């Protein structure tokens, strides 16, 4: 066998093994390419798409590492970010574990809207309610150097992850983490309050994918109507926003009508922004008067 034939055979073997790994993952994943992309880029520090379209090949050791991650993913049914310990959000990577919600692309819309409101010049103070991994507050702080933030969470484990992420991204001197429910015992008023609160209704919870149910229930379950925490946020925001301040929070499309009713009855001027899928996702509100 010539050297060229040996190389071609090795290439065929690694390509075939990679496809086999992808097929195994596809049995439990609705988006195996996205999960493999995370695994390849986090574990190997290489460009996934070069492998996917056949422009690059894996070594046996690289295949072993990817295979180990996929094996654990299938065995435990934990989401891939928990397996890898990282998740992408707003162009950055964040540490995650089972104490925090996994950052999602839909939530990037909330950050984009908030950044449009926060001035590039001049000071501003933001509260991030239920900060979790800290991805919302930290993403905003990285984009606005004059912004300061108070990030709250009811979970001490979540706050530990958020602190770790703030140090990773070099914004720890502009964020204060507070262990509390919503904004209880937090002093001062804010130019902006943001939140990705728990909003899954009780009736929906049992039908969630097993991977989603692996995430912290406290960050997902919003009570019978999905508004248990949202009501607290809306009520406290009425007193904690400065004049002209803005409240921005994420919702599920299934609770949109309930949220609209709550905001109208509470006296807010508001709009609901759709995500990239055309679904109602983010409420942007200001107090009338």
Q: What is the pLDDT along the chain (289 residues), one digit of tens a residue?
A: 443 444 344 444 677 888 899 999 999 999 999 999 999 999 999 888 877 777 778 888 999 999 999 999 999 999 999 999 999 999 999 999 999 999 999 999 999 999 999 988 889 999 999 999 999 999 999 999 999 999 999 999 999 999 999 999 999 999 999 999 999 999 999 999 999 999 999 999 989 999 999 999 999 999 999 999 999 999 999 999 999 999 999 999 999 999 999 999 999 999 999 999 999 999 999 976 5
**Are 159 and 66 part of one and the same domain?**
no
What CA–CA distances, in Å, run from 179 to 81, 86, 162, 263?
Answer: 25, 23, 12, 27
Residue 196 domain-assigned (yes or no) = yes
Regarding whether 135 and 41 lie in a shared domain, the answer is no
Residues 120 and 255 in one domain: yes
Cα distance between residue 3 and residue 83, in whole Å:
38
Number of domains the chain contains: 2
118 found inside a domain: yes
Whether residues 164 and 61 fall in one domain: no
How many Cβ atoms from other residues are within 10 Å of residue 53's Cβ? 8
As to burial, measured by CB atoms within 10 angstroms (0-12 exposed, 13-18 middle, 19+ buried), residue 60 is: exposed
Q: At what angle do helices 228-240 and 256-265 cross, to 10 degrees?
A: 30
Does residue 112 sit in helix, strand or coil?
helix
**Half-sphere exposure in the Cβ direction for 271 (13 Å, CA):** 4
Q: Is residue 81 part of a domain?
A: no
Domain residues for the domain of 282 are 86-287
CATH number at residue 110: 3.40.50.150
pTM of the model: 0.92
- Per the listing, tokens 């919503």 go with 182
Query: Do 19 and 58 have their domain in common?
Result: yes
Minimal CA–CA distance to 226: which of 244, 247, 246, 208? 208
């Amino acid at each position: 066998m010539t050297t060229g034939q040996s190389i071609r055979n090795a290439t065929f073997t690694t390509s075939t093994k990679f496809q086999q790994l992808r097929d195994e993952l596809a049995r439990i994943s609705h988006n195996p390419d996205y999960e493999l992309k995370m695994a390849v880029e986090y574990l190997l520090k290489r460009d996934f798409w070069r492998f996917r379209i056949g422009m690059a090949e894996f070594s046996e050791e690289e295949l072993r590492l990817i295979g180990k991650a996929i094996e654990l993913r299938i065995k435990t049914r934990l989401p891939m970010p928990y397996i890898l310990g990282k998740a992408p959000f707003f162009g950055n990577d964040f540490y995650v574990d089972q104490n925090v919600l996994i950052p999602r692309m839909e939530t990037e819309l909330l950050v984009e809207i908030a950044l449009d409101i926060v001035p590039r010049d001049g000071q501003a103070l933001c509260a991030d309610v239920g900060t979790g991994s800290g991805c919302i507050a930290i993403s905003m702080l990285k984009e606005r150097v004059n912004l300061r933030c108070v990030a709250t969470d009811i979970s001490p484990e979540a706050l530990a992850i958020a602190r770790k992420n703030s140090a990773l991204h070099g914004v720890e001197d502009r964020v204060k983490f507070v262990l509390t429910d919503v904004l209880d015992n937090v002093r001062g008023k804010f130019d902006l309050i943001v939140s990705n609160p728990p909003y899954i209704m009780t009736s929906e919870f049992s039908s969630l994918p097993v991977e989603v149910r692996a995430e912290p229930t406290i960050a997902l379950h919003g009570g019978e109507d999905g508004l248990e925490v949202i009501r607290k946020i809306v009520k406290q925001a009425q007193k904690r926003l400065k004049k002209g301040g803005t409240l921005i929070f994420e919702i599920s499309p299934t609770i949109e009508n309930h949220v609209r009713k709550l905001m109208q009855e509470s006296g807010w001027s508001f709009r609901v922004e759709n995500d990239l899928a055309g679904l109602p996702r983010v409420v942007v509100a200001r107090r009338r008067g």
